[in-house]
Amino acid sequence: MEDIKMVDLKAQYAKLKPELDAAFSAVMESMEFINGPQVSNFARSLEDYLQVQHAIPCANGTDALQIALMALQLPAGAEVIVPSFNYVSGAEVVALLGLKPVFADVLADTFTIDPASVKKIITPATAAIIPVHLFGQGAPMQEIMEIAHEHNLFVIEDNAQSLGAVYVRPDEHEVRLGTIGHIGTTSFFPSKPLGGMGDGGAVFTNDNKLAEIIRKIANHGQSEKYKFSTVGVNSRLDTLQAAMLDVKIKYVDEYNEARQEIARFYDNAFADTPAIQAPHRFKQSSHVYHQYTITVAPAVRDSLKSHLRDNHIPSMVYYPEPLHLQEAYTYLGYKSGDFPVSEVLSQSVLSLPMHSELKEDQLTYICQNILDFMNNNG
Ligand SMILES: *Cc1c(COP(=O)(O)O)cnc(C)c1O
């Protein structure tokens, strides 16, 4: 059996090597490393893929969130709601821009932002919500958009982890996640559903006015050469990354489907073991399994992880500490117990190896080890 990896970028590269190497060489020959034609080609590919009016590439997924927020031109101190059980980017950019991160709890089954928790924390200063499509499936966008509409709030979808997942609207119409709110963002960090060979990100919107300001902000706030009409940032997607991503975007659906098949294998293996909670499927969205995250009793989570490691099976805890309890955000005054679901999840989640190159013998071995441990310790 081959070594088991959490994510297998090498095997992915091996499959696409001729195409990726040719795209790489083309950039090297042109020497147009900044804003080469590959950047706008990739932006068009992304627009086609997402069926969105505007896709604006930028340097990484955190910048994408920052640029999206800057484009909204919120007043200083405005409150922006972010889930506590999440990667740090959303809260970080809110704080950096002199706005106030306000945390919400998440749903116990899907781990995405809880609309009931959001409703409780809205104040006259609330200006925006950043739902996160966590681990590969959608946040409850229908409810979030209704809340936003009622309170006149902006919605920025953080779609770093679920690119390609489809959302079913109440009228049964299907759209890609990231195209429902006012602005959507994503990351092309190498392990994400569409990963580059380095950092990258993008901002999407169907709003022409927002698109114009987003483009400007990502490029130093330039309205024309050496004319700066707003404070901006330098956040570009390198031509080399765009060239790689324009090859890989053709395979996103294939990779997503391969991971769905692996998820089915795991689901079946764990179906008769109540001590293991397989990922819950949110019915309004497909799941592209950026992570396959199980939950087990907090008392056994860390020992299960050690047991797997002893048997050469990698696993990861995303996320070990909710954001409201992180040192950086103590100034906001939260305490333990404020968001019970996020707090329990951080002690009970475990993400298993998940990538398109996992083989059946590896999956059988992983599941056997988990089941053996849980049958003896669960
Ligand atoms: C990865 C990630 C980001 C940040 O992306 P970078 O490209 O690493 O800056 C933001 N939000 C979520 C939910 C992520 O998973």
Model pLDDT, residue 170? 82
Q: Give 197-206 pLDDT, tens digit per residue.
A: 999 999 999 9
Model pLDDT, residue 172? 87
Determine if ligand 1 sits within 6 Å of the CB of residue 195.
Answer: no
Q: Give 6-32 pLDDT, tens digit per residue.
A: 999 999 899 999 999 999 999 999 999
Determine if ligand 1 sits within 6 Å of the CB of residue 66.
Answer: no
Determine if ligand 1 sits within 6 Å of the CB of residue 319.
Answer: no
Q: How far does the centroid of ligand 1 lie from the alpha carbon of residue 62, in Å? A: 6
Residues 6+ apart with CB under 8 A from 80: 69, 74, 94, 99, 100, 101, 102, 126, 127, 128, 129, 130
- DSSP helix/strand/coil, 36: coil
**What's the CATH number for 9-104+112-250?**
3.40.640.10
Q: What residue ranges do the domains of the chain occupy?
A: 9-104+112-250, 252-377
Determine if ligand 1 sits within 6 Å of the CB of residue 132.
Answer: yes
Reported confidence tier of residue 241, pLDDT bands at 50, 70, 90: very high
| Residue with CA closest to ligand 1 atom 3 | 61
Nearest-atom number in ligand 1 for the CA of 86 is 13
Model pLDDT, residue 310? 98
| Residue with CA closest to ligand 1 atom 7 | 61
Q: Give 331-369 pLDDT, tens digit per residue.
A: 999 999 999 999 999 999 999 999 999 999 999 999 999
Q: How far does the centroid of ligand 1 lie from the alpha carbon of residue 323, in Å? A: 14
Determine if ligand 1 sits within 6 Å of the CB of residue 92.
Answer: no
Cis check for the bond before 251: say yes or no (omega within 30 of 0).
no
Cα 176 to Cα 162: distance, rounded to the nearest angstrom: 9
pLDDT of 289 over the 90 cut: yes
Residue among 187, 188, 199, 351 to mutate when testing ligand 1 (max atoms within 8 A of CB): 187
Model pLDDT, residue 378? 66
Model pLDDT, residue 194? 97
Q: How far does the centroid of ligand 1 lie from the alpha carbon of residue 291, in Å? A: 14
Determine if ligand 1 sits within 6 Å of the CB of residue 187.
Answer: yes
Indicate the angle between helix axes 239-248 and 37-50, nearest 10 degrees. Answer: 40
The rounded mean pLDDT for the chain is: 97
Q: Name the burial class of residue 9, with classes exposed (0-12), middle (13-18) and buried (19+) by CB atoms within 10 angstroms of its CB.
A: middle
Model pLDDT, residue 171? 86
Reported confidence tier of residue 169, pLDDT bands at 50, 70, 90: confident
Which amino acid does the sequence have at 110?
A: T
Reported confidence tier of residue 133, pLDDT bands at 50, 70, 90: very high
Q: Name the burial class of residue 211, with classes exposed (0-12), middle (13-18) and buried (19+) by CB atoms within 10 angstroms of its CB.
A: buried
- Do 77 and 56 meet the contact criterion of CB atoms below 8 Å apart? no
Closest by Cα among 250, 251, 196 to 57: 196
| Residue with CA closest to ligand 1 atom 12 | 160
Model pLDDT, residue 223? 87
- DSSP helix/strand/coil, 188: coil
- Do 287 and 138 meet the contact criterion of CB atoms below 8 Å apart? no
Tokens of 242: 């765009």
Residue among 58, 66, 82, 189 to mutate when testing ligand 1 (max atoms within 8 A of CB): 189
Q: How far does the centroid of ligand 1 lie from the alpha carbon of residue 186, in Å? A: 7
Residue among 85, 89, 191 to mutate when testing ligand 1 (max atoms within 8 A of CB): 89
Reported confidence tier of residue 294, pLDDT bands at 50, 70, 90: very high
Q: How far does the centroid of ligand 1 lie from the alpha carbon of residue 253, in Å? A: 20
Domain topology for 252-377:
Aspartate Aminotransferase, domain 1 (3.90.1150)
The better pLDDT of the pair 171, 297 is held by 297
Q: Give 307-326 pLDDT, tens digit per residue.
A: 999 999 999 999 999 999 99
